[in-house]
Chain A
Amino acid sequence: MNYARMWYKYKSVALGGFMFLIIVLVAVFSPQIATHDPARISMRQALQSPSSAHFCGTDEFGRDVFSRIVFGARISLSISISVLLIIGIAGTFLGLLAGYYDLADTIIMRIMDGLMAFPTVILALVILTVLGSGISNIVLALSIAQIPRVVRTVRTTVISAKQYEHVEAARAMGASNSRIMFKYILPLCISPLIVRLTLTMALTVLNEASLTFLGVGLSPETPSWGTILSEARQHVSTSPYLILLPGAAIVWSVMALNILGDGLRDVLDPRLG
């Protein structure tokens, strides 16, 4: 095995995967990593600068910002993974139907086109207004707002896969439509789907941060990166470190997923690059 060649091919996957693994580890071991209770209010310690007691300082309620950032990884990751699962399953199913059946294509893709014409944050804001706050509602809102791209990716693959010889052969052998869709076409959708879902997960982290920054979706006590930034903006002139560090956590996660997505695309589907 030529290790140099292998490294060249998989370096983005390895780098992005490593960066993402760190976020996963921080999220899983957040109670062990956090130095303080992220919800503990201590007004006497409000707005302290970074020190050995508080690595990233404290917010206006005296809560330890480092611990809140660490627990924020858990919130961000649980929301983005939930969205990923929902849009992965529902988007694949809808994409298969749209790509395979003409009538379903007309109906599903018109709805998807309509959803795509909405700005993601505004659509999610309206859905959250309908549903109310809470992690499950933020997951649902972001899933509805971001599903069209997944449906489109699967549909495009299904439309070309329908013309492949092995699919024609299966049809000639009398295979049912569901068997053709799930046994012969679905495996062809996996590569582009993995790439699309990884990049969509990066967008989910950004959109979740935007929504919670606007003060929608999660209560201010919940230690999400967006809510930390939202509270910190009041103190931008006096405590800029409150802005820089949670933002750096968002950039790190989104960058990890973008690098991973790009790397997976180069490996799994180089034509898309």
Chain B
Amino acid sequence: MIRYTMRRLVAAIPTLLVVSVLIFVLIRMIPGNPALVMLGDDATSTEIAAMEKRLGIDQPLFVQFVRWGANMLRGDLGNSIYYRIPVTQVIFSHLEPTLLLVLYSTIIFMLLGVPLGITAAVHRNGFIDRFCMTVSMLGLSMPGFWLGLTLVIFFSVRLDIFPSVGYVMIREGGLLESLKYLTLPALAMGLQRSASIARVTRSSMLEVLGNDYIRTARAKGMIERRIIGLHALKNAANQILTQAGISIAHIMGGSVVIENVFNIPGIGRLAFDSIIRRDYPAIQGHIIFVAAVYVFVNLAVDLLYKFFDPRVEYK
């Protein structure tokens, strides 16, 4: 398993390298001079030239990339133009709300999606199945930001249960207060993703429920709840897990919109603000970070397969 993990990590290097090249080239194509952005419109040409030299952007593109890549391998993503501190520090200072949002949304979509999918599979082609699948189709078709705004109308404006925007850091207001601020955004993301989890759960459960060992378990008189919970769900778990991994990556990526709606100071909001402010090192750093998370989540999902299915072998 360790060898497999190492090989997967090595295999991820070309992907991350391609992401680095793509983002590096894209960022350099953005119109405008980063030195001018840092110094402001009043800067003289001498000051701009000095700043370009300091940032290393007076060098050929290839030299800039090699230098940036070498620094990145050492964990140095450069300094943010806007915050004037290392990008890694900026990302980590914005990480807490996003991580908590991803975790909260994951709990919501798993708690809603899996039971919905199981219920649909157990009542295959019946009214309940159709109802569950219609609900999931509806969830799949809703933009997360619209769902978020709709939740604000009902739970913040009408009922005044949850705050409509903002976030309080855990160290300032405690975990419960932070979760209160994240409930509506997490619901918006979680409800949307639970739709795809429900669909995958249904199809993988149907596949498993048609197997001989399920028929044998029924013939032996095992109660249905035990068959579903113990035998079927465990064997359907890997496909659900794969979809959960995809959903987590989606939430990470989608956080740029939802954090904007709810004014949450997470890394999604940071990415959007950095693009608007032309903070090139911060944009690069954010994308490399999200791409790395994407690779690691996929790897974690692959490694979890064995937990649910001991037949899985890592070669």
- A residues neighboring B (CB under 8 Å): 110-111, 113-115, 117-122, 125-127, 129-130, 132, 202, 206, 209-210, 213-214, 229, 233, 236-237, 240, 243-244, 247, 250-251, 254-255, 258-259, 273
Distance in angstroms from B49 CB to nearest chain A CB is 24
Chain B residue nearest to A106 (CB atoms) is: B14
Contact of B253 among A120, A209, A251 (CB under 8 A): A120
Distance in angstroms from B287 CB to nearest chain A CB is 6
Residue-by-residue, is B4-31 near A (CB-CB < 8 Å gives 1, otherwise 0)?
0000000000111111011100110111
Residue numbers in A under 8 Å from B272 (CB-CB): 125, 214
- Is residue B145 within 8 Å, beta carbon to beta carbon, of the partner chain? yes
B252 touches A119 (CB 8 A): yes
Segment from B34-42, B115-123, B133-141, B226-234 that makes contact with A: B133-141
A236 touches B256 (CB 8 A): no
Residue numbers in A under 8 Å from B27 (CB-CB): 126
14 contacts between A and B (CB under 8 A): A110-B15, A111-B22, A117-B15, A121-B257, A202-B141, A213-B143, A214-B257, A214-B272, A229-B145, A229-B146, A236-B152, A247-B142, A251-B141, A254-B141
Q: How many A-B residue pairs have CB under 8 A?
A: 128
The 9 closest A-B pairs by CB, nearest first: A119-B253, A114-B18, A247-B146, A255-B141, A254-B141, A117-B291, A240-B153, A130-B29, A237-B157
Contact of A251 among B142, B149, B283, B295 (CB under 8 A): B142
Contact of A129 among B14, B203, B252, B275 (CB under 8 A): B275
Distance in angstroms from A44 CB to nearest chain B CB is 26
Q: A126-B275, A229-B149, A247-B150 are in contact. Are A113 and B260 (CB under 8 A)?
A: no
A258 touches B149 (CB 8 A): no
Residue numbers in B under 8 Å from A237 (CB-CB): 153, 157
A255 touches B137 (CB 8 A): yes
A130 touches B26 (CB 8 A): yes
Distance in angstroms from A81 CB to nearest chain B CB is 18
Residue numbers in B under 8 Å from A132 (CB-CB): 31
B14 touches A110 (CB 8 A): yes
Contact of A206 among B143, B261, B275 (CB under 8 A): B143
Distance in angstroms from A57 CB to nearest chain B CB is 14
A125 touches B275 (CB 8 A): yes
Chain A residue nearest to B142 (CB atoms) is: A251
In Å, the complex CA distance between A120 and B256 comes to 10
Interface residues of B in 149-187 (CB under 8 A from A): 149-150, 152-153, 157, 164
Residue numbers in B under 8 Å from A129 (CB-CB): 30, 275, 278
Residue numbers in A under 8 Å from B145 (CB-CB): 210, 213, 229
Residue numbers in A under 8 Å from B278 (CB-CB): 129
Chain B residue nearest to A254 (CB atoms) is: B141
Residue numbers in A under 8 Å from B22 (CB-CB): 111, 114-115, 118
In Å, the complex CA distance between A259 and B130 comes to 13
